[in-house]
């Protein structure tokens, strides 16, 4: 989606309308919030970028993030196996954003204690 383009998305768990594949949004500026309605297998697992700047590609991958690396940084207790989001940004313009993730239900997400849940980012194989 180009700069200025919008998409209407419903973030409720009842919604089964989503992008099954990568979604690219260009031209976010520091005041932008953008909800990426991405999903797989009949379920949306939206991801929202808040205070985002830059051009981003987001996709939900329904495979184990453990396949990417087994080298965990200190403080990581375990890594889920059901799915993960791939968030990529162009080098220029410099990208930044706060990320909000969705966990539609325990059966598919494996998230049972949202209060202690922490998200991690894969950087240089760790």
Is 99 inside any structural domain? yes
Domains identified in the chain, total number: 1
The string of pLDDT tens digits covering residues 7-23 is 777 666 666 788 899 99
Q: 77 or 52, which is more confident?
A: 52
Q: What is the model's pTM?
A: 0.84
| Boundaries of domain holding 16 | 1-67+76-118
Is 54 inside any structural domain? yes
SS3 for the chain, per residue? CCCCCCCCCCCCCCCCCCECCCEEEEEEEEEEEEEECEEECCEECCEEEEEEEEEEEEEEECCCHHHCCCCCCCCCCCCCCCCEEEEEECCCCCCEEEEEECCCCHHHHCCCCCCCCCCCCCCCCC
pLDDT over 80 at 54, yes or no? yes
Is 126 inside any structural domain? no
């Amino acid at each position: 989606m180009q700069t200025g383009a919008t998409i209407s998305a419903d973030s409720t768990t009842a919604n089964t309308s989503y992008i099954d594949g990568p979604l690219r949004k260009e031209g976010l500026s520091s005041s932008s919030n953008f909800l990426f309605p991405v999903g797989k297998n009949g379920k949306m697992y939206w991801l929202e970028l808040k205070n985002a700047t830059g051009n981003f590609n987001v996709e939900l991958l329904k495979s184990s993030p453990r396949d990417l690396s087994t080298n965990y940084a200190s403080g990581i207790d375990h890594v889920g196996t059901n799915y993960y989001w791939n968030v990529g940004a162009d080098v220029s313009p410099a990208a930044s954003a706060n990320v909000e993730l969705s966990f539609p239900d325990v059966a598919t997400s494996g998230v049972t204690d949202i209060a202690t849940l922490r998200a991690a980012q894969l950087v240089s194989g760790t």
